[in-house]
Amino acid sequence: MKIINMKTNRITNPLGFDLGKPRLSFVVCETSATKQIAAQVQVALDEEFMNRVFDSGRSEDVDSLAFEVPIKLQPYTRYYWRVTVWADNGDEATSDIAWFETAKLGEPWNAEWITPDLEKDVHPVLCREIDIYKEIVSARVYVCGLGLYEMEINGEKAGVEYLTPYFNAYDKWLQYQTYDISELLRTGKNTVEFTLGNGLYKGRFGFRGGEIEIYGDKFVLLCEIVIKHADGTITVINSDETWKARKSPIFFSGIYDGEIYDATFIHEDYYEVKKIDLGYDRLKARLSLPVVVKEVLKPIKVIITPAGETVLDMGQNMVGWVQFKTNAPKETEIVLQYAELLQEGNFYQDNLRTAKAEFRYNSNGDEVIVRPHFTYYGFRYVKVSGWSGEVNPEDFTGCVLYSDMDQLGSIETSNPLVNRLFLNALWGQKGNFLDVPTDCPQRDERMGWTGDAQVFSGTACFNMDTYAFFSKYGYDLAQEQAVFEGMVPMVVPVATIKGGGSSAWGEAATVIPWNVYLHYGDKAILEQQFESMKGWVDYIKRSDEASGNKRLWTIGFHFGDWLALDGDDPSFPTGGTEIAFISSAYYFYSSMLVAKAARVLGKEDIARQYEELSNEVRDAIREEYFTSTGRLALNTQTALVVALFMDLVPEKHRKRVAQDLRERLKKDKNHLKTGFVGTPYLCRVLSENGNNDLAYTLLLNNDYPSWLYAVTMGATTIWERWNSVLPDGKISGTDMNSLNHYAYGSIVEWMYRNVAGINPVEEKPGFRQVRLAPKPDYRLKHVKATLNSAAGLYESQWEINDEGQLKFKFVIPFNTTATVELPDAKLENVMMSGQPLVDAEVRSCEFENRVHVDLYSGKWEFFYTPEVEYIKRCSTQMALVELLGNKEAKKVLEDTVPQATALSKEMLEKVGHQSLRELSKMPFLRIPSEVLDELDLKLKNIKNNKVTVSV
């Protein structure tokens, strides 16, 4: 028995974070036990646990998902903690020691904000020397530098973080960081230096090319260095007017445009610094996770383009930068330029719009390893200019930069294209979860669009531990939202875009905290965000009342089903679904989530109030948009999907609406037309409403529009548009065309929930209980998903053998339970771990062609022949294009009904999605029924094993 994943506020050993009431979590593994019967948490001021400040004793109330430690935290203090767990089989284990350390808490700042007495665009180094003549026990730095800063002690970088103090609403709050510099200081003279860059604080940032000096026009620093000595004394060094400034060799820095670094620049003149009054009221201990180099990549090849350019291919669209080793002669300027794709084999940056995305380095002749300091890039290709001699890929390293989150989930299938799609979504998250969930990481935007974050949040929580990441973003959102009386901005931080209030975008206030609670089981996220959640719904309600109190949301600006393919206005692509329906649906959905959150928090009166509101909205939607027979007035994919997903459809009409969705897709040739609103729910709704086959068809389509189209075009991240790159390799446009835009990667949540079947349960969140309900399809032979959840490691895998039999394997972690749903099964036919399920000592039952089994922690296997044939056979009921895509079936058609194989490509594009039996009634393809019956006899032995459909 072992205890792992020990975290405080879901952060491993947090230093200097704003922890509020610290909540401890851990995972138990490597035991045959099934349940925790008791646990003990101890917290002390020393690693020997002699000076304990808390001891729960052996208790049945210690929750491994989030145990709140009831102690009053002291400033500048490191707390050590450990946990002992007792299990139902007699196992007992004590964890290793973890820790958390507080920052200043409420202690006043003695340091002063200082700014260099230099021209405001000159990048400074602020510095001072420290003489230390006593033995050092420990040393900490508490610091905020604006726009961005890096700290060096005696020439060595302090910490492994980059782009501090990160990106947030600087006009509302300022984060300060804490560094442990005990190992960097030495007895005698020490030099402390802070290099400052622009960032979005004072550099160019914002929509449509951005603005400068959004939050401030001067470089500033606030710093306190606290040194504890062996004799018990303390030395404190504060930033003040005794510090000095000099000019940095960084001549320019910008998030969009890159950096210019002149290593030949030696400026030994020092300048005064001045006090500047920024106040202390906005200062807050950090919430942002560290942004670190999480992994490194080497170039896969060096390309000499037709234009004669030297270009590194990193093999992966990534975010960060390339560092390089050089000993180029003095005054050699090396230029790296970054791009996402090539055009006609040549380097191409036009889709970055006004962003230069470059790094310029002027060599001083020394052999050095070079990197930028105050910028980052989104790229796959790097154009190298000015290099001395032949470019050796070993001299270059791609540094992948994102917030320090643990990867939790993985999915692998029998289809390599699907596996690459999963990785593309994961890489999209890596690239865009850099302190703020940005829309894109490469062009002159990189903003925290709330709609993108909302639609992807479910997938994000499956892929990585995003609790602390979204907690910081939610805090920032609430700060911005408060200024607008509950309206949620389009982007957070707001920066240059002051508008907001759009449905789906504003739902970042409700959907994200609810998803985070559901995945990690810690209600502190709901406590933190509850007023924000409620404020958003109250804003919608006021809009409703202003338009006549109809319990519909019919006024205001909305993005609609953004970038959907069924709209009429390509210049502003809000899609073809009525915007008032979308906004009203979210009115209902957010009201319901507020009610649920209130109930979790014990706010029963508020829960009833918002539950009543949500029911009123749903009733109004049904009256406005549904006929008495259940027909939805809006016949778009997104309208039908939203109605089903958000439970807007009267229960007695669900089957009718699900069938209408099937018919709508058939008219759309079984290809998606959804945008930001419909896409996240599309396949989930299909799988959960009797159309699982269509969900897989949409997944496996490889022509435009589809997820796999981009994969077949070589994409290594998710694109902003379904056709960001055309089949001929040309980019489809440059105005708004990112090749790393994660929103459509939300398909991965369906892969976790429905393909692999791993579903959290609201009543026992944090995966304390799960619903394991995989929905296999013959076009994938096997699937395996793993999830290192807050409660432990889950595995779900299935395979379909050549005889069409199903085999499932599940791993359920310690102290959790699961209800397994086996599809198309008869109880008496199911084997569990080698014995008949009916003889096993587990609770099971048969319900609507499914077998339900209640399980506890352990490894489980099931095997049976399903009641329906999973290996599909060819027939005249299949789409003609599918029949023609199967070589054996096509040969039968050529021999029997050659006119069906002679249709032109144009005709196939129009009617190929219909079955041969449907088309047989058309004037251009008359086929007698007896011939169709004969065809079915010939086709029935041919397996329909084609996994992608294209015309």
Active-site residue list: 445, 720
User: Is the four-CA dihedral 182, 184, 190, 194 of positive or negative sign?
Assistant: negative
Token duo for residue 826: 């008869």
C-alpha 588/C-alpha 570 separation (Å) is 29
Verify cis geometry, omega within 30 degrees of 0, for the bond prior to 705.
yes
CB–CB of 552/525 below 8 Å? no
H, E, C per residue of 351-414: HHCCCCCEEEEECCCCCEEECCCCCCEEEEEEEEECCCCCCCHHHEEEEEEEECCCECEEEEEC
C-alpha 645/C-alpha 460 separation (Å) is 19
Residue 641 is which amino acid? V
Closest residue by Cα to residue 740 from 470, 340, 397? 340
Spatial CB neighbours of 844, under 8 Å, sequence gap ≥ 6: 827, 837, 838, 851, 852, 853, 854
Rg of the chain, C-alpha, whole Å: 30
Query: According to DSSP H, which parts of 626-767 are helical?
Result: 637-645, 654-667, 679-688, 692-700, 707-712, 747-750
Residue 472 is which amino acid? K
- Measured at the alpha carbon of residue 93, what is the angle toward residues 89 and 98, in degrees to the nearest 5? 150
Spatial CB neighbours of 66, under 8 Å, sequence gap ≥ 6: 23, 24, 25, 520, 521, 522, 523, 524, 766
Token duo for residue 946: 């084609």
Spatial CB neighbours of 102, under 8 Å, sequence gap ≥ 6: 16, 19, 73, 74, 75, 76, 77, 78, 79, 285
C-alpha 822/C-alpha 26 separation (Å) is 31
C-alpha 115/C-alpha 124 separation (Å) is 9
- For the chain, the straight-line distance linking the first and the last C-alpha, in angstroms and rounded, comes to 56
Place of tokens 């065809």: 935
C-alpha 483/C-alpha 486 separation (Å) is 8
H, E, C per residue of 469-530: HHHHHHHHHHHHHHHCCCCCECECCCCCCCCECCCCCHHHHCHHHHHHHHHHCCCHHHHHHH
Q: What is the DSSP letter of 841?
A: S
Would you tell me how many other CB atoms lie within 10 Å of the CB of residue 925? 18
CB–CB of 569/579 below 8 Å? no
Closest residue by Cα to residue 552 from 624, 647, 504, 608? 624
Token duo for residue 492: 């957070």
Spatial CB neighbours of 439, under 8 Å, sequence gap ≥ 6: 432, 445, 446, 447, 448, 449, 452, 720, 738, 741, 743
C-alpha 219/C-alpha 46 separation (Å) is 39
871 burial (CB, 10 Å; 0-12 / 13-18 / 19+) is: middle
Place of tokens 């016949």: 635
C-alpha 185/C-alpha 306 separation (Å) is 53
C-alpha 900/C-alpha 894 separation (Å) is 8
CB–CB of 371/259 below 8 Å? no
Distance of CA 766 to the CA centre of its chain: 18
776 burial (CB, 10 Å; 0-12 / 13-18 / 19+) is: buried
